[in-house]
């Protein structure tokens, strides 16, 4: 069965902008409807469902911010993604739009490839969330069936397995899309859930031309809800980190904003730990914050690997004051971010893999490529574990500073 094209509502009072953007989106197989005013947009949205709205801020009569405020009374960020369109330099409007519930923004004149990428990201997130919600409904139905009768238990388990596997594929689809190598840095990562769905997550994303955001997070649970939260948290963090204009938000501000935005209702009462930092690709400076997460490992020169000490409580445990730290990576230096599931792996005797073995594995592979280094680390962990089932997810992200060539 061929999926129907995603429907997009383009709202702009300028006919040239409105129709030009509609034609370009139609060439990429989107179903596009246009509105010339805020009131016309609200009328259209009242009569049918759209998958995404591109909403101009500056319009006569009812402006885009007023339309956004009205729409958020009805639909959440996940139910109806809204991308604001604004002129460059209108940072106050951008900030207000994000606080009112906009998912993202683009600036005029539109860079169409950038706009298209942001549209695809929001639609992909919406589809993933819809798949997981559908899965939760099916799992609830299956649980009721199992309580009512034991007949067909094997068939029900098979269906359950297939659906969880589909959710796992959707979760993996949101792993970092940044190329393994960019000017100034090379990345590698390993993501090993203890079950098919993970409460861990990691991400690497560009912040303008000269910076990259790096994060590893760990939701304090497993299963469908934790997996959904891990994906959503990663995407919300990337959106908050993007800030507005050309400036890059400091990590402490990003984590504090994330903590304020996430109510207990939004996180289903879950807490999560997080290590988030910003790498300057030209200078090698890495500024970071830990919210109850293990500190990164630094490999520099011929010095032995060193764990950077951090402080901070998980998001959702107490206040949102976070201490920012910094380290400068020279060409050839490496930094490793990881979840505590890595050091917590147990062998048959119940002994943890631990920090000492972790550092030794990194030291042994420091002359190999980042990808080979992580491959060696995973093999060391698996050899230690033997046949003992994993008790926690493993996420590890490695960045190596590279010389920036003119």
Which of 96, 94, 72 has its CA nearest to residue 82? 72
Residues 188 and 296 in one domain: yes
The low-confidence residues of the chain, meaning pLDDT below 70, are 1-3, 88-89, 137, 140-179, 195-199, 221-225, 243-246, 263-269, 318-320, 406
Residues 338 and 354 in one domain: yes
Say if residue 180 is exposed, middle or buried (CB neighbours under 10 Å; 0-12, 13-18, 19+).
middle
DSSP 95-134: HHHHHHT--EEEEESP-HHHHHHHHHHHHHHHHHHHHHHH
Q: What is the pLDDT of residue 275?
A: 93
Distance CA 216, CA 231 (A): 11
Q: The domain that contains 130 carries what CATH number? A: 3.40.50.2300
Q: What is the pLDDT of residue 78?
A: 72
Residues 214 and 114 in one domain: no
Residues 248 and 305 in one domain: yes
Using CA atoms, how far residue 351 sits from 7, 149, 302, 354, in Å, is 54, 42, 30, 8
Q: C-alpha dihedral over 12, 18, 21, 25, to 10 degrees?
A: 90
Beta strands of 281-386 (E only): which ranges?
285-291, 297-299, 306-307, 324-328, 334-338
Indicate the SS3 state at residue 233: helix
**Half-sphere exposure at residue 247, Cβ-oriented, CA atoms within 13 angstroms:** 11
Reading across the β-sheet that carries 200-207, which strands appear in turn?
200-207, 211-219, 272-280, 285-291, 324-328
Domain of 189 in residue numbering reads as: 176-401
In a domain, 141, yes or no: yes
Among 133, 154, 173, residue at a domain's last position: 173
Residues 101 and 190 in one domain: no
Residues 6+ apart with CB under 8 A from 292: 271, 273, 274, 312, 313, 314, 315, 317
Q: What is the pLDDT of residue 1?
A: 45
H or E stretch at 135: helix 112-148
Quote the tokens at residue 119: 């549209």
H or E stretch at 388: none
Distance CA 30, CA 4 (A): 9
Residues 156 and 222 in one domain: no
Q: What is the pLDDT of residue 145?
A: 65
Q: What is the pLDDT of residue 231?
A: 74
Q: The domain that contains 270 carries what CATH number? A: 3.60.40.10
In a domain, 406, yes or no: no
**Centroid of chain to Cα 67:** 27
What backbone phi and psi angles, to 5 degrees, belong to 107?
A: -110, 150
Total domains present in the chain: 2
Residues 306 and 190 in one domain: yes
Place of tokens 């993501």: 191
Residues 251 and 374 in one domain: yes
Contact 108, 86 (CB under 8 A): yes
In a domain, 315, yes or no: yes
Q: What is the DSSP letter of 352?
A: B
């Amino acid at each position: 069965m061929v999926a129907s094209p995603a429907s997009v509502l383009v709202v702009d009072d300028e006919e040239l902008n409105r129709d030009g953007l509609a034609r370009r989106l139609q060439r990429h197989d989107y179903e596009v409807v246009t509105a010339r005013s805020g009131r016309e947009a609200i009328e259209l949205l009242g009569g049918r469902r759209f998958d995404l709205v591109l909403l101009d801020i500056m319009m006569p009569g009812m402006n885009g911010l007023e339309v956004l405020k009205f729409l958020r009374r009805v639909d959440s960020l996940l139910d109806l993604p809204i991308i604001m369109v604004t002129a460059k330099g209108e940072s106050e409007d951008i900030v207000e739009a994000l606080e009112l519930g906009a998912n993202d923004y683009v600036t005029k004149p539109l860079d169409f490839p950038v706009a298209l990428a942001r549209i695809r990201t929001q639609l992909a997130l919406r589809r993933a969330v819809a798949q997981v919600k559908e899965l939760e409904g099916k799992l609830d139905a299956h649980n009721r069936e199992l309580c009512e009768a034991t007949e067909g238990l094997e068939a029900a388990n098979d269906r359950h397995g297939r659906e969880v596997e589909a959710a796992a594929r959707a979760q993996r689809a949101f792993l970092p899309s940044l190329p393994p190598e960019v000017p100034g840095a090379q990345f590698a990562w390993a993501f090993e859930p203890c079950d098919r769905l993970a409460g861990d997550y990691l991400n690497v994303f560009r912040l303008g031309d000269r910076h990259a955001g790096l994060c590893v997070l760990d939701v304090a649970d497993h299963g469908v809800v934790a997996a959904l939260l891990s994906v959503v948290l990663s995407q919300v963090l990337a959106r908050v980190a993007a800030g507005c204009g050309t400036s890059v938000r400091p990590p402490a501000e990003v984590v504090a904003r994330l903590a304020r935005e996430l109510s207990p209702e939004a996180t289903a009462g879950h807490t999560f730990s997080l290590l988030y930092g910003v790498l300057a690709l030209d200078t090698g400076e890495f500024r970071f914050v830990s919210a109850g997460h293990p500190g990164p490992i630094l490999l520099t020169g011929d010095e032995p690997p060193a764990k950077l000490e951090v402080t901070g409580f998980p998001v959702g445990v107490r206040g949102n004051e976070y201490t920012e730290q910094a380290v400068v990576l020279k060409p050839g230096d490496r930094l490793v971010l990881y979840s505590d599931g890595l050091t917590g792996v147990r062998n048959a005797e119940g002994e943890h893999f631990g920090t000492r073995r972790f550092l030794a594995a990194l030291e042994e592979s420091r002359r190999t490529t980042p990808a080979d280094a992580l491959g060696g680390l995973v093999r060391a962990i698996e050899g230690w574990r033997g046949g003992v089932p994993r008790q926690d997810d493993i996420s590890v992200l490695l960045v190596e500073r590279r010389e920036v060539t003119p």
